[in-house]
Amino acid sequence: MWTSKQDSLVTALEIGTSKVVVIVAEVNESEAINIIGFGQSRSRGVIKGQIVDTKLAYDDIRQAIKDAEEKADRELHQVYLGVTGQHVTSSNYTGSHAIASLDRCITGEDLEDVMANARRFNLSQGQHMIHVIRQQFMVDGRATMHSPVGLPGSDLAVVLHAVQGYKDRLQRPVQLLRKMKLEAENLAFNGLASALAVLNPTQKADGTLVIDLGGGTTEYAVCSRGVVCHSGVIAVGGDHVTQDIATGLNYTFSRAEDLKIKFGSAMVTESVRGQVRDILNETGLTDHRVNIENLRRIMSERLKETFAIVGAELDRCDMVDMVQSVVLCGGGAYTPDICTLAEKVLELPVQVGAGVNLHGPSSIIERPEYATALGLLKFGVFDFARRRESHTDRVPWSQRLKNLLRIEQ
Amino acid sequence: MSLTEPIKMSHPSASHGEPLICIGQMGGLVGSILLEHGKMPVRGVALDNDFSYYQALHSSMFKFSCDADGSIQPFVPDGHEDAMESINLQELFKQEGTSAWVLVLVGLGGVFSDQIIPQVVSSIQAQGSMVVVVASLPFDMEGEAKTKQAEKTLDTLLQSADAVIAIPNQALLKEHASPVKMKTAFELSRTALAQAVDGVWEMLRADGLTNIEMSHLKDLFQGHHVKGLFASGQAAGFNRAKCAVESLLGHPQMEDGAALALADACLLQITGDESLTFKEVDRIERALSRLLPAGISPVVGTSVCGTREGWLSIRLVSAHFSQAKENLLHVSPGEPDATPDSFKVTIQKKTPLPQEAIIEEEAAKGDAPLLGGNVEDHDSGPINPLEPPLGTRSSQRGSKRYFQTLLNLGAKKKGRFASCDPTYYHSINLDEPTFQRKGVLFN
């Protein structure tokens, strides 16, 4: 139960490569999310999802927070922070445990033991665990998604999906927030957050690949049988497309970005073969001529490669058969013909995703570029509920002290 | 210590496997490199009349000194005369049974090597083994006398050995624009020879899914061929099949694939890790088949090797039956008049295709390297020694054209990503524009 107005407030902060987004939402007792505030600013100190200029990043985050506070008419103290970057990696781990009881029935203790065994993986020095997601249990080799407590068996195993990143990289945004008197309530990987935002329960169960085409990174996550079973990030995004155009057509980065938005497409169609457009300068005179076919070919090559890498990664992890469809989100999902290209490369049906099971302005919920921030909101609600439950189950401090001192009631 | 002892000890892999007969200084040193590498379980046997380089040879190698009259006896270093036991080459072969085939490694051109090779080949064949000779041909700068000597020996070998794979040393220098140091040149030669032996051995010995056998090699090479070429290429990571083919074609002997256009037969060994797929094998086979003359398809062997995770390697041996073609292969671009008239290359300026026109235009400006290669007007001006062998490209390989890509010596602009870590995916720098990496040409 939410105890106060401040308790029922969940704030998501995404420090992206192209923008900083803050979304404030109220959560009611039935855990329904209602967006009440929104702030956004251009991101200038972030490249490939990593803060490279703390001063600029600080200003941009401050601006977005301030906007959101004004819109929500609340003072923000805690945020759920999205993290990404090529230092974020994921892997699956398996732990097993032999059932020792005489009746060979699995108990809650067996579950705790097998989870503890699975968690005994070695992180590299300097790495920090961001998420550990339970995939499935195996009882004598048979997979089960549900709790196996009470089932007979001799061998219990569990598969975990873990997402980890390097502490020093993860701490950068947290330190910036501290300077603003803000606390990072918890961290969440952007790829998982996007999947939370755009997938409905059917898609999560059927096996869906979510690809978040961001400005500096491309995150992906595979949801199957209701859980995230694979995720990853490639430090390639919309900026790479723009940089390719700038290099190939010899324009500045900002001019290339304009051209990408105005004339860009993921496919080179027959209609643009040899097409040339005049680019006007501020005075209205023709400044440059741009070959649209070349522009789109450059874009197409980059995007095709990005999808191919995602496909290759899924192939490497034997995930291809689990995926039935693809959902695109992030700013890159606006690229014309992006679904056609993704379908061609991944050979799966593709659609652009939007936030599901959320209440608030459609200008936020229905836009794919806010999928990560919306997912962070959902993650925040789950995380808060989980912690509240564990808090309820927890033995009170007074009782703990008594136990410690062996004081009988 | 008896000199026969090393047969039973010293090198853990020395007691089994096919013998690798290394003749002369070049053969001995290259054989030592291979034994040092430890990959090939071979019995290294060095034959020479002068072991002044004794210390440089691998300790597990059996050393035999040969006299001018052709007698072969174990080499005994100074101070070890008392330990000498008499053993001849044939006895050595008999010790552990007969091998199906024996690799002979030699640098042709030396007087000693040329004297001893026919004797060694006949000795091995007398034991019922087939002989595969991997030989290097001398550099041009070593003089005409050596070249002639090497050619004479090669002719003899072609008649007697079951297969001969020749590595022309001079071809190894084609990739080098600047003057090559003597030491570097011989290192290159030794490396190429070692690669060839390793590759042929791997080809014949690998426990393949589809095997290349000695009979394939023998069918291709015995009797009627002029020379065999060996090349290898390998790659890992994203699109490794394509990259491995590119690496193979970049081998100095392949001349960007032009050498294949003249091949009369071809053996292809594809080795990958557990992740090797049918698609990759098919892609490699198709890519190389396109470069072979019409009607000739490669004999393909595949094997899975778990030692190098993620890597895929291709080894190729091609046979050239026609002397005429062989001569054409060795056209020296700087000296077109040195070739017989019938093989002179007529260089014509053809009407450029649209893409080539762009490349030509950019080449004229001097800034073409990133989008393709250089096409020059060969009607006028000197022939560029870095150019591929003239007349062996578009005219003989059908519609596919290859261009020599210039090295980009300028620093690459990182643009927006200069201030952050580069993004690598399987050794590919993804920060570099995709179209550049893939060589996409624009209209």
Q: Which of B413, B420, B435 sits opposite A52 (nearest CB)?
A: B420
Say which of B238, B423, B442 has its CB closest to residue A86. B423
> Domains in chain A, start-ordered, CATH in brackets?
89-165 (3.30.1490.110), 240-300 (3.90.640.10)
Q: Identify the pLDDT of residue B306.
A: 62
What's the pLDDT at B363?
A: 41
Q: What's the pLDDT at A218? A: 96
The residue with greater pLDDT, B35 or A34, is A34
CA distance B406 to chain A (A): 18
Domain ranges for chain B, please list them.
Answer: 1-205, 224-330
Residue B169: CB atoms within 10 Å = 27
Contact A301 B434 (CB under 8 A): yes
pLDDT score recorded for residue A237: 95
pLDDT class of A182 with cuts at 50, 70, 90: very high
Shortest alpha-carbon distance between residue A248 and chain B (Å): 8
Decide if A244 and B443 are in contact by the 8 Å CB cutoff.
Answer: no
The answer to whether the Cβ–Cβ distance between A305 and B431 falls below 8 Å is no
| Integer-rounded Cα radius of gyration of chain B | 24
List the single best residue of A52, A217, A240 to mutate versus B (max B Cβ within 10 A): A240
Cβ pair B416:A235 closer than 8 A: no
pLDDT at site B171: 75
Q: Which residues of A touch B275 (CB under 8 A)?
A: 316
Determine the length of chain B.
Answer: 443
pLDDT at A224 over 60: yes
DSSP assignment letter at B383: P
- Percent of chain A exceeding pLDDT 70 equals 92
Does A244 contact B416 at a Cβ distance shorter than 8 Å? no
Nearest residue on chain A to B276, alpha-carbon basis: A316
The amino acid present at B276, given as its one-letter code, is: L
Cross-chain Cβ contact B423/A297 below 8 Å: no
DSSP letter at B201 equals H
Topology match between the domains B1-205 and B224-330: yes
Please tell us whether the domain made up of B1-205 is placed in CATH 3.40.190.80. no
Nearest to A247 among B238, B430, B433 (CB): B433
CATH 3.40.50.1440 fits B224-330, yes or no: yes
Question: Are B416 and A239 inside 8 Å of each other by CB?
Answer: yes
Which residues of chain A approach chain B closer than 8 Å at the C-beta? 47-48, 50, 52, 86, 234-236, 239-240, 242-244, 246-248, 253, 274, 291, 293-294, 297-298, 301-302, 304-305, 308-309, 312, 316
How many A-B residue pairs are in contact by the CB < 8 A criterion? 74
Contact state of B442 with A294 under an 8 Å Cβ cutoff: yes
Cα dist from B52 to B46, B47, B84, B87, B430, whole Å: 13, 12, 19, 21, 52
CB contact under 8 A, B435 and A234: no
Q: What is the DSSP letter of B250?
A: T
According to the per-residue pLDDT averaged within each range, which of A103-112, A220-229, B267-276, B376-385 is highest?
Answer: A220-229
- The C-alpha of B358 sits at a distance from chain A's nearest C-alpha, in angstroms, of 14
d(CA A218, CA A198): 16
Print pLDDT tens along chain B (443 aa).
Answer: 232 333 332 333 334 556 778 888 888 888 888 777 766 666 777 777 777 777 778 777 777 777 766 666 777 766 655 544 445 566 666 654 566 778 888 888 777 777 778 777 877 777 777 788 888 888 888 888 888 888 888 888 877 787 777 777 887 776 665 667 777 788 878 887 887 787 777 777 766 666 666 667 666 665 555 566 788 888 877 678 888 888 888 777 777 777 788 787 788 888 888 888 888 888 888 888 888 888 778 888 888 876 667 788 888 888 776 543 344 333 333 333 333 332 222 223 333 333 333 334 444 444 333 333 333 333 333 333 333 333 333 333 444 444 444 444 545 566 778 878 888 888 888 998 998 888 777 76
What was the ipTM of the complex prediction?
A: 0.86
- Given an 8 Å threshold on Cβ–Cβ distance, is A243 in contact with B416? yes
**B419–A243 C-beta distance less than 8 A:** no
